[in-house]
Chains A and B, each alone.
Chain A
Amino acid sequence: MPYDALIAIIPALPIAGFVFTALAGRRLQASYGRNAASAVPIAVVILSWLAGMAVAYGALTHADPFGATGHAMTLWRWIPAGAFQVDAGFFVDGLTACLLIVVTTIGMLVHIYSIGYMSHDPGTWRFFAYLNLFMTSMLVLVLASSWLVVFVAWELVGLSSYLLIGFWYRKRSAALASKKAFIVNRVGDVGFALGIMAIFVNTGTLDIRTSIERLIAPGAVLTVPIVVVALLVFSGAMGKSAQFPLHVWLPDAMEGPTPVSALIHAATMVNAGVYLVARANPIFGHAQGAMLVVAAIGIFTAILAASIAFTQTDIKRVLAYSTLSQLGYMFAALGVGAWTAAIFHLMAHGFFKGLLFLDSGSVIHAVHEEQDMRRMGGLWRKIPITYGTMLIGSLAIAGIPPLAGFFSKDEILGEAFKNGFLVVWAVGFVVAGMTAFYMFRLMGMTFWGPSHVDPAIEPTIHESPRSMTVSLVLLAIPSVLIGMVLGLPFGGGLLKTWLEPVFGETVALSGHAEAGFALFGIDGALIIASVAVATLGIVVAWRFFGIELGPLRSEPRPKAVVAIAEANGATRFLYRASLNKWWFDELNDLLFIRIGGRLAMAAWWFDRNVVDGTVNGIGSVAVGFGRGLRRVQTGRVQNYALGIAIGLIVMAGSYLVIAGR
Chain B
Amino acid sequence: MTNSLDAYLILSALLFCIGTFGFLARRNAISMLMSIELMLNGVNLAIVAFGAFNPHLREQGSIIALIVIAVAAGEATVGLAIVMAIFRNRRTPLVDEYDSMRQ
Interface residues of A (CB under 8 A from B): 630, 633-638, 641-642, 645
B42 to chain A: closest CB distance in Å? 14
Q: How far is the CA of A544 from the CA of B93 in the complex (A)?
A: 111
Listed A/B pairs (15) with beta-carbon separation below 8 Å: A630-B103, A634-B99, A634-B102, A635-B100, A635-B101, A636-B95, A636-B96, A636-B99, A637-B32, A637-B96, A638-B27, A638-B95, A641-B23, A641-B24, A645-B24
B24, B100, B101: the one within 8 Å of A638 (CB): B24
How many of chain B's residues have a CB under 8 angstroms from any CB in A? 14
- Is the CB–CB distance between A633 and B96 below 8 Å? no
Return the CB mask of B1-43 against A: 1 if under 8 Å, else 0.
0000000000000000000100111010000100000000000
Cβ of B98 within 8 Å of any chain A Cβ, yes or no, is yes
Complex interface: chain B residues within 8 A of A637 (CB): 32, 95-96, 98
List residues of chain B with CB within 8 A of the CB of A630.
103
Q: What chain A residues lie within 8 Å of B102 (beta carbons)? A: 633-635
A615–B98 Cα distance when bound, in Å, is 39
A637 to B33 alpha-carbon distance, docked (Å) = 12
Q: Which residue of A lies closest to B25 (CB)?
A: A638
Looking at A630, A633, A636, A642, which has the most chain B CB atoms within 10 Å of its CB? A636
- Report B-chain residues with C-beta under 8 Å of the C-beta of A633: 101-103
Chain B, 83-103, contact with A by CB distance < 8 Å: what is the 0/1 string?
A: 000000000000110111111
Closest to A637 in B: B95
A635–B98 CA distance with the chains assembled, in angstroms: 7
Report chain A residues within 8 Å CB of B100. Answer: 635
Could you tell me the distance between the alpha carbons of A168 and B98 in the complex, rounded to whole angstroms?
Answer: 73
Contacts of B96 in A (CB 8 A): 636-638
- The interface residues of chain A lying within 8 Å CB-to-CB of B24 are 638, 641-642, 645
User: In this complex, what residue of B is CB-closest to A638?
Assistant: B24
Chain A nearest CB, measured from B37 CB (Å): 15
Tell me whether chain A's interface is mostly helix, strand or loop, or mixed.
Answer: helix
Chain B interface (Cβ within 8 Å of chain A)? 20, 23-25, 27, 32, 95-96, 98-103
Bound-state CA distance A135–B47 (Å) is 100
Which 5 residue pairs are nearest across A and B when measured between Cβ atoms?
A635-B102, A635-B99, A637-B95, A636-B96, A635-B101
List 10 extra interface pairs beyond A634-B99, A635-B98, A636-B99, CB under 8 A: A633-B102, A634-B102, A635-B99, A635-B100, A635-B102, A637-B95, A637-B96, A638-B27, A638-B96, A645-B24
Closest Cβ neighbor of B26 among chain A residues? A638
Q: How far is the CA of A637 from the CA of B97 in the complex (A)?
A: 10
Q: What residue in chain A is nearest B99 (Cβ atoms)?
A: A635
Q: How far is the CB of A624 from chain B (nearest CB, A)?
A: 15
A43 CB, min distance to chain B CBs, angstroms: 77
Instruction: Give the shortest distance, in Å, between B49 (CB) and chain A (any CB).
Output: 19
A645-B20 contact in complex given A636-B95, A637-B95, C-beta closer than 8 Å: yes
Q: Using CB atoms, name the residue of chain B closest to A630.
A: B103
B31 to chain A, nearest CB (A): 12
Q: How far is the CA of A645 from the CA of B32 in the complex (A)?
A: 14
A-chain residues with CB within 8 Å of residue B101 when the two chains form the complex? 633, 635
| Interchain CA distance A645-B19 in the complex, whole Å | 12
CB distance from A649 to the nearest CB of B (A): 10
In the complex formed, the residue of A with least CB distance to B101 is A635
Give Cα A633–Cα B24 distance, bound, in whole angstroms: 16
Interfacial chain A residues near B27, Cβ < 8 Å = 638
Most buried by A among B20, B27, B32: B20
A647 CB to nearest chain B CB (Å): 13
A220 to chain B, nearest CB (A): 72
Kindly list chain B residues whose C-beta atoms are within 8 Å of the C-beta of A634.
Answer: 99, 102
A650 to chain B, nearest CB (A): 14
Interchain nearest-CB distance for B72 vs A (Å): 18
Contacts of B23 on A, CB cut-off 8 Å? 641
CA distance A635 to B100 in the complex (A): 7
Give Cα A633–Cα B102 distance, bound, in whole angstroms: 7
CB distance from A653 to the nearest CB of B (A): 14
Chain B nearest CB from A479 CB (Å) reads 86
A residues within 8 A CB of B25?
638
Q: Which residues of B sit under 8 angstroms from A635, Cβ to Cβ?
A: 98-102
Tell me which residues across on chain A come within 8 A of B20, comparing CB atoms.
645
**In chain B, what residue has the closest Cβ to A648?**
B20
> A636 — nearest CB in chain B belongs to which residue?
B96
Chain A residue numbers with a CB within 8 Å of B99 are 634-636
Residues of B within 8 A of A636 (CB): 95-96, 99
Within the complex, what minimum Cβ distance (angstroms) separates A623 from chain B?
Answer: 14
Q: How distant is B18 from chain A, measured CB to nearest CB, in Å?
A: 13
User: What's the Cα separation between A636 and B101 when bound, in Å?
Assistant: 9
Contacts of A645 in B (CB 8 A): 20, 24
Closest Cβ of chain B to A639, distance in Å, is 9
User: Which of A634, A635, A642 has the most chain B CB atoms inside 10 A of its CB?
Assistant: A635
- Closest-by-CB residue of A relative to B20 is A645
Which residues does chain A contribute within 8 Å of B32, judged by CB atoms? 637
CA distance A634 to B101 in the complex (A): 9
Smallest beta-carbon distance A633→chain B, Å? 7
CA distance A503 to B31 in the complex (A): 106
Q: A638 to B25: give the CA distance in the assembly, Å.
A: 7
Collect the chain A residues with CB atoms within 8 Å of residue B95's CB.
Answer: 636-638
Q: Which residue, of A630, A633, A637, A642, has the highest number of chain B Cβ atoms within 10 A?
A: A637
User: From residue A655, how far is it (CB to closest CB) to chain B in Å?
Assistant: 16
**Closest CB in chain B relative to A527 CB, distance in Å:** 95
- Nearest-neighbour CB distance to chain A for B54, whole angstroms, equals 19
B-chain residues with CB within 8 Å of residue A638 when the two chains form the complex: 24-25, 27, 95-96
Docked pose: A306 CA to B24 CA in angstroms = 98
Q: What's the least CB distance linking B78 to chain A, in Å?
A: 16
Shortest CB–CB separation between residue B56 and chain A, in angstroms?
21
Name the distance in Å between A638's Cβ and chain B's nearest Cβ: 6
Distance (whole angstroms) from the CB of A354 to the closest CB of chain B: 78
CA distance A645 to B21 in the complex (A): 10
Nearest-neighbor residue (CB-CB) of B96 within chain A: A636
Distance A360 CA – B27 CA, assembled complex (angstroms): 100
Q: Looking at B23, B32, B100, which has the most chain A CB atoms within 10 Å of its CB?
A: B23
In Å, the complex CA distance between A634 and B95 comes to 12
How far apart sit A638 and B31, CA to CA, in the bound complex (Å)? Answer: 12
